[in-house]
Structure 1
Amino acid sequence: MDPENCASYQEIIAGIQKKELIVVDVRSPHEIEGSGKIECDRWLNIPIAEVKNAFSMDDDSFKSKYGIAKPKKEDSDLIFNCGSGKRSGMAINDVKSLGYTKARHYPGGYGKWKQEPL
């Protein structure tokens, strides 16, 4: 995975504190319920199978379904997350094919996140 596609723990913490970050968790709701999530004001659960369709929606449909404004293609504060980093890497490929060239993911996923110091 290209390092430009990756966000560090410190970058994510800083984005959460500034309330600038959108974290898209691509795990199933069941997985999240069982293990937890990255706490963020603008957190979304869009399972991996739905990512491409979600980011292909028009702005109004996205906001209606997910409760926040659809990220802009040039947004650099769009971070994808999963359990280990594999599915979030796949999500990056999906959204980049739609023009979200600055989207990134957290390698290691939530499993690594839980091990980081607070």
Structure 2
Amino acid sequence: MEMQTTDAGEIEVWTPEEVNAALDRGEIALIDVRTPQEYMFEHIEGALLLPMSFFRADRLPSQEGKRIVFYCGSSMRSGKMAEKALAAGYAPVAHLQGGFGKWKEAKMPYMGTDMATGAPKTVTP
């Protein structure tokens, strides 16, 4: 895990492997800040959707028992939302290094769309 320094403080930057392991152990609440359309097409299984355009840090779940980790497509939006959460008093907060693109590059499993039927399907690269 790396640390990112922002005006609001330090944000943890997790690798896809770290996020996947913590998600499997039930230690994190993974929040996707992409658009509903991006989420519906493909997303990390078990991730909650909270689009950046609707983001309100005061409505985030408590971190009691689970760390909040944000992700987006490339880590730009998730970094901004992690900074907003940190500024609102949530600490520590984290986001996925390189976003969903890096997740797929690391060959982690995700929910995709079966192009023949439009139905969701598990993708295990």
Task: Please say whether Structure 1 and Structure 2 have the same fold, judged by a TM-score greater than 0.5.
Answer: yes
The superposition leaves residues 45-86 of structure 1 with CA deviations (integer Å, 9 ceiling, x where unpaired) of 1111222x2x313xxxx6xxxxxxx223x7662100000110
What is aligned with 1:28?
A: 35
Matches of 1:89 and 1:75, distance apart in 2? 22
Q: What is the aligned residue count?
A: 101
- Structure 1 segment 19-58 matched on structure 2, within 5 A: 19-34=26-41, 36-40=42-46, 43-51=47-55, 53=56, 55-57=57-59
Structure 1 segments unaligned to the other structure (5+ residues): 63-69
- The match for 1:71 is 62
**What TM-score do you get using the length of structure 2 for normalisation?**
0.71
Q: Secondary structure at 1:31's aligned position in 2?
A: helix
Bigger proportion of residues as strand = 2
1:10 aligned residue: 17
Gaps of 5+ in 2: 6-10, 109-125
Q: Structure 1 residues 44 and 38 mapped into 2: Cα distance closer, same or farther (>3 Å)?
A: same
Query: Max radius of gyration: which structure?
Result: 2
Runs of 4+ in 1 over 6 A off after TM superposition: none
Residue pair 2:29, 2:69 contacting (<8 A) in 1 also: yes
